[in-house]
A and B are shown apart, each in its own frame.
Chain A
Amino acid sequence: MKHLLSIEQLGRAEIEAILERAESFAEVGRRDIKKVPTLRGRTIVSLFYESSTRTSSSFELAAKRLSADLVSVKSAGSSVDKGESLKDTVATLSAYDPAAIVIRHPYAGAAQLVAGWTDASVVNAGDGKHEHPSQALLDLFTLRRRVGSLEGKRIWIVGDVLHSRVARSNLIAFQEMGASVTLCGPPTLIPRGVEELGCDVSYTLDGLGDADVVYALRMQRERMKDSFVPSIREYAARYQIDSRRLGPRQLLMHPGPVNRGVELSGDVIDSPQSLIAEQVESGLVVRMAILYELLAGSGRPRPVGDGELPPAPAPIGQPA
């Protein structure tokens, strides 16, 4: 695997390899010295054209934990701000001979384009409303730790599906791992024709009780400007996940940042069913695993079938 551009490109075996690699990094994370020398001397560029807290910080920390040199470029204050084209920016950054470029961009297909312009491995950290593969992988990792296999599990993704790259990547990822998915939201925020991706569509929360996992999406307050919803109040009344609607055996997830009191009520966020904090934790080890698979995992036998993995690299300062 040279690039991680989408969840769609990954088969189940490749997904499992990344998740198992992430498990081994979770083990490293429990040691006192959390850094490994795997990517020493290699450069990773983090190129963010949109604001991001979780994704950029966890990718950057992941690169540092793997001992890579990190160049972090944010669109504000850089030459991007001065009107430089994406192609020219990538050409400039490629002069540093990076091993990987992690890119977040407001438009679909940006990571794929960049992959055609550079020799580096490219990681899609979110492209427009298209895909967010590392989010889907960390969500799978989080869920798997809690419930084991996703085979036969029922997952509801609730909210603004239309504008959500997380919904798209997670729909594909959950189905690939054997779960069935229902997309739920107001008809104005469900893309026309989406059921052809193999999911169910519901315009109400009736039937939510059947779900094993409820995955709520962020609802942006400005959506009412384009008449997608009449008001945030009406949206919350119909679609908010609260302790009345969330059963005791159902798990709750959210990609963050949460609009408290809109898509989720405060009490469910902090409830024991909520995996939201674990999702953030998983972000770091899964992104370490992604960088490892792309930059150090190639050429090694894939841990498919026998489940044997190379041992986790020894932390720096300890004999390998």
Chain B
Amino acid sequence: MTEVPGIAEALAFREGDRGDLVLRGASVLDPVAGIDAPHDVVIRDGRIAELAAPGAADAGDAEVVDAEGLHAFPAFFDPHVHLRTPGREDEEDVETGTRAAAAGGYCGILAMANTEPTVSTAADVEALRERARTEASVPAGFLATVTGGMRGEELTEMAELRDAGAAGFSDDGLPVRSARVLRRALQYQRLCGGVIALHEEDPELSGDGVMHEGPVSAALGLTGIPSVSESTMIARDAALAGYEEARIHVQHLSARESVAAIAAAREAGVSVSCEATPHHLCLTDEAVRTLDASRFKMNPPLRSEDDRQALLAGLRDGTIDCVATDHAPHSADEKEVPFEQAAMGVTGLETAFSALYTDLVLPGVLELGLVVEKLGAGAPLFDLARPSLAPGGEANVVLCDLETEWTVGEDGYESRSRNSWCAGRTLRGRVLVTVAAGQVAYRQRNFALGVAS
């Protein structure tokens, strides 16, 4: 077993000044490292140099942040982001997307390959990594498509793509419709490695559906997407992965049946991981009654309260490995149209933590520690070191104020798009500072660093 590389090592970002920093007296919580106490967090040369007793650290020349009453967590990692470049830079690009990630407390992201054109050749991956080296505020990795142009017909040059730095493979946005083609990709994984991330949906069952099939779709006269459209494909692909002893990652779980399909696959010994999004954990199809496509239309769709409860249970019992945002920026033109015509997808990087904290931690549905853990758990699923506050490691830290309230969108967005599922909502808890790969990637505008001594 080779050692797992750090995020900064494996992913591409704009290298800058590694200003030394001391977070004085922060409440430090890193459930994986077993840390839950106030400390001075000392960041030196891009690493966590020391966790000292509150007030005890010698700051030296370092910038000091009065972090008393604030919380420091390992920064988050998002394995499911759409940066929209190449092709739709009017919606997002590497610079704005990673800025949004930094503002949400993320120290690393993985970008999906369903761009226009798709990321399907080694040159595509190299060009994106080069761009990230000049523009990315936080380390960014790029997946390549499983099939050329996502046509579902022939495999991409997966081995060469891996050599060029592809962080994994996905035709996200579409399922790999053919079991034969997916089987070949899973076989080929033995040669080249790289997790294959799957958007699970049977297009025959989804048809032209635009929301979850159930009483709400019946009341609205909208064509439904049945839950089994997702779960039957998960069952099929898990069986293929088991047969080929391959590794798959199932994206954006939305339905109770899907959680059961993952649990059954694990039980059968299949190497499968999976993710759920904050919007599926916080919302149900009741929100669609507003017919607000900008906030509530995405694929997979928001499902029933029973499905949401199954996702929460799956997160608690470990069936669901991590939280991923499926940050999907869209232009206003694609959203300011009737629901059925609107593009699918919502942005989520800037609000993920605050939304989970407000909707699930504060009411006592989920423990804060569990949310922090699941927001960082995407990294190891893609063979990257998990962000940690344990001394000696790469400094990936997020500093949050859990008392402050803010209204989403009030001061605009770091993302180039505005289709946030939280738009207009008042949330509790805000990211003040994000340190990614040892660099300050974000500081909240009204929060001055270096004022304390």
The finding on whether chains A and B are genuine partners in a shared complex, rather than unrelated, reads yes
* Chain A binder among B211-219, B261-269, B381-389: B211-219
Pair A168/B221 contact, Cβ less than 8 Å: yes
Pair A130/B213 contact, Cβ less than 8 Å: no
Partner of B291, one of A87, A108, A165: A108
With both beta carbons as reference points, the residue of chain B lying nearest to A109 in the complex is identified as B291
Minimum CB–CB distance from B261 to chain A (whole Å) comes to: 20
A127 within 8 A of B: yes
Partner of A86, one of B217, B219, B223, B338: B338
Which residues does chain B contribute within 8 Å of A192, judged by CB atoms?
213-214, 217-218, 224, 226
Which residues does chain A contribute within 8 Å of B333, judged by CB atoms?
85
Give the docked Cα–Cα distance between A197 and B215 (Å).
Answer: 8
Pair B219/A105 contact, Cβ less than 8 Å: no
Give the docked Cα–Cα distance between A191 and B214 (Å).
Answer: 8
Which residues does chain B contribute within 8 Å of A112, judged by CB atoms?
291
For chain B, which range describes its interface: under 10, 10 to 19, 20 to 34, or 35 or more residues? Answer: 20 to 34
With both beta carbons as reference points, the residue of chain B lying nearest to A131 in the complex is identified as B221
With both beta carbons as reference points, the residue of chain B lying nearest to A87 in the complex is identified as B336
Minimum CB–CB distance from B311 to chain A (whole Å) comes to: 20
Pair B221/A130 contact, Cβ less than 8 Å: yes
Interface 0/1 of A164-199, CB less than 8 Å to B: 010010000000000000000000000111101100
Q: How many inter-chain residue pairs (CB < 8 Å) link A and B?
A: 68
Which residues does chain A contribute within 8 Å of B271, judged by CB atoms?
none
Known contacts A107-B341, A113-B338; decide if A193 and B291 are in contact (CB<8 Å). no
With both beta carbons as reference points, the residue of chain B lying nearest to A105 in the complex is identified as B338
Minimum CB–CB distance from B300 to chain A (whole Å) comes to: 17
For chain A, which range describes its interface: under 10, 10 to 19, 20 to 34, or 35 or more residues? Answer: 20 to 34
A64 within 8 A of B: no
Pair B215/A196 contact, Cβ less than 8 Å: yes
B222 within 8 A of A: yes
Known contacts A113-B336, A193-B214, A196-B215; decide if A130 and B220 are in contact (CB<8 Å). yes
Minimum CB–CB distance from B257 to chain A (whole Å) comes to: 14
B340 within 8 A of A: yes
Pair A191/B340 contact, Cβ less than 8 Å: no
Minimum CB–CB distance from A27 to chain B (whole Å) comes to: 35
A129 within 8 A of B: yes
Partner of B217, one of A107, A109, A110, A193: A193
Which residues does chain A contribute within 8 Å of B219, judged by CB atoms?
168, 194, 196-197
Give the docked Cα–Cα distance between A128 and B217 (Å).
Answer: 13
Pair A109/B336 contact, Cβ less than 8 Å: no
Which residues does chain A contribute within 8 Å of B339, judged by CB atoms?
107-109
Which residues does chain A contribute within 8 Å of B224, judged by CB atoms?
191-192
Pair B218/A191 contact, Cβ less than 8 Å: yes
Known contacts A108-B339, A109-B339; decide if A194 and B218 are in contact (CB<8 Å). yes
B287 within 8 A of A: no
Which residues does chain A contribute within 8 Å of B223, judged by CB atoms?
129
Given A86-B337, A108-B220, 11 more A-B residue pairs with CB atoms under 8 Å apart are A107-B337, A107-B338, A113-B337, A128-B338, A129-B223, A130-B220, A165-B221, A192-B224, A193-B213, A196-B218, A197-B218
Interface residues of B (CB under 8 A from A): 213-224, 226, 291, 333, 336-341
A-B contact pairs, 26 of them (CB 8 A): A85-B333, A86-B337, A107-B337, A108-B221, A108-B222, A108-B339, A109-B338, A109-B339, A113-B291, A113-B337, A128-B338, A129-B221, A129-B223, A130-B220, A130-B222, A168-B221, A191-B218, A192-B213, A192-B218, A193-B213, A193-B215, A193-B216, A193-B218, A194-B215, A196-B218, A197-B218
